[in-house]
Amino acid sequence: MNRRNGLLQRRASIIPGFGLTFGITLFALCVLVLVPLSAVFVKTAGMGWQAYADVALSSRALKAYKLSFGASAIAASINAVFGLMTAWVLVRYDFAGKRVISALVDLPFALPTAVAGIALTALYAPNGWLGRWLVPHGIEVAFHPLGIVVALTFVGLPFVVRTVEPVLADLGADVEEAAASLGASRFQTFRRVIFPAIAPALATGFALAFARAVGEYGSVIFIAGNMPYKSEIAPLLIIIQLEQFNYAGATAIAATMLVASFLLLLAINLLQGWQRRRMAS
């Protein structure tokens, strides 16, 4: 009988057991992620400190890092606000064209980033449909850092919406009704009931949007203007180094961005974990 129960327990899992599954996971992770990233660091380590600093820590590179990470943080923050509002509308309301709006949210996932960059440039260029009205008022989007923020906001919105949407759906409208029946205002309901429940998912969406924005190239390259010290992003510097056959310099910039991105995402994940523990307690 015990032997039969043991066989049933072993057959309960549809996929292979932990040992085999874990081994396949580690192998795939090494081949797809760790080996390529290790090659970047190995190539960079062979440069020497001075050669590394001349490329990766030059004033031009530092300016590009500041622009890339700063614009990514701004774009992810914008997406956190409007992505939450979009997810709220899609979950809480039924209206004509809801599926069309939902499909439009996913459009940046499927649309080639170069197409998005060209479209945004055509809209916000000084002679574009929107640019011709904005430029006379001193609002210059295309070929300026503001254009980079616009492009990064465009590509990052779906990450926040699709991360927050299922959490809002599970939360249900009855929670808001219960809070209202106890005399809570709309702001109090959102601050004390809704926001604590969706905060981890919102932070995850912010992190995903930020990570996507940091490495974005195709949608930014057309609208940025690519002027050194002004509107030049860090991924463009990597391409410039590759075009000059300076592969070590390209890997040096890539390694610097990789370390900075990892540290920022680690900080966000630690903050999420702290927030979950605080809510649990």
Phi, psi for residue 101 in degrees, rounded to 5: -60, -40
Q: Inter-axis angle of helices 247-280 and 59-92, to 10 degrees?
A: 40
What are the residue boundaries of the structural domains of the chain, listed by start? 1-45, 49-280
Do 240 and 217 meet the contact criterion of CB atoms below 8 Å apart? no
Tell me the two tokens of residue 271.
């903050």
The helix or strand, by DSSP H or E, that contains position 11, with its residue range, turns out to be helix 2-11
- Note the Cα 232 to chain centre separation in Å: 20
Tell me the two tokens of residue 133.
């009205």
pTM, two decimal places: 0.82
Residue by residue, pLDDT tens for the chain (281 residues) are: 545 555 445 555 566 667 778 788 888 888 887 887 787 777 777 777 888 888 888 899 899 999 999 999 999 999 999 999 999 998 888 888 888 888 888 888 888 888 888 888 888 888 888 888 888 888 888 888 899 999 999 998 999 999 998 888 887 777 777 777 777 777 777 788 788 888 888 888 898 899 888 888 888 888 888 888 888 888 888 888 888 888 888 888 888 888 888 888 788 777 767 766 766 66
132-176 pLDDT per residue, tens: 888 888 888 888 889 999 999 999 899 999 999 888 888 777 777
pLDDT of res. 7: 46
Q: State the CATH architecture for 49-280.
A: Orthogonal Bundle (1.10)
